[in-house]
Amino acid sequence: MSVIVRPATNDDLAVCLRMSGACTTEHVWQLIQREEEEQIAVTLSDVRLPRPMPAEYPRTPQQIREVWKSSDAMLVAAEEDGTPCGFVDLCAEPWHGIVWAKNVIVDAPFRWRGIGSALIGAANRWTQERRLGALMVEAPSQNWPAICFFRKLGFTFCGFNDRYYSNQIALFFMRRAK
């Protein structure tokens, strides 16, 4: 399958909002936090689940629409006929030298075909064109496939927020623009 990554158009929005960011996972990253007198210890552990578990996407279509409105760029991966099959939104923070990709979604029927890698590659080029040093992504601790995907592409864990999503822990990963 040949895929083209291009800037999103207004016509792409409705198609992208119907895409599923949900997945099935067999692992989660479990957070354990301990506080003692002069020390805070945080441990993230890979925990294998007893059976596969559905993991919902942490944002609603309305929340994704709001991110689109405030993004600096939206890139869509499209099939040869122009139909979107994935997207990424990009928010530049020049004062930090980074670009945030808040949503990286490949619709379920199109996963494992290189589309996510093409989207991240285009996001990396967009980051370089603006002379910013790094690309940041996020994933819920329950989305093991996304975590593995980002790590495979060279992203390294750089933080978490247990109140970022309403019901999941957000993990943050960074990769130098190269």
Q: Which residue has the tokens 């927020």?
A: 161
Q: Quote the pLDDT of residue 104.
A: 97
Q: Residue 130 is part of which domain span? A: 4-176
Q: What angle is formed at CA 15 by the lines to CA 13 and CA 18, rounded to 5 degrees?
A: 105
How do residues 63-99 score in pLDDT, each as one tens digit?
999 999 999 999 999 988 888 999 999 999 999 999 9
How do residues 145-162 score in pLDDT, each as one tens digit?
999 999 999 999 999 998
The better pLDDT of the pair 32, 105 is held by 105
Percentage of residues in the chain having pLDDT higher than 70: 99
Q: How many domains does the chain have?
A: 1
The CATH number assigned to the domain holding 160 equals 3.40.630.30
* Two tokens, residue 121: 């590659």
Alpha-carbon separation of residue 43 from 35, 46, 94, 105, 172 (angstroms): 12, 10, 31, 28, 15
Distance, CA of 38 to chain centre: 34
pTM beyond cutoff 0.85: yes
Three-state DSSP class for residue 121: helix
Q: Quote the pLDDT of residue 130.
A: 96
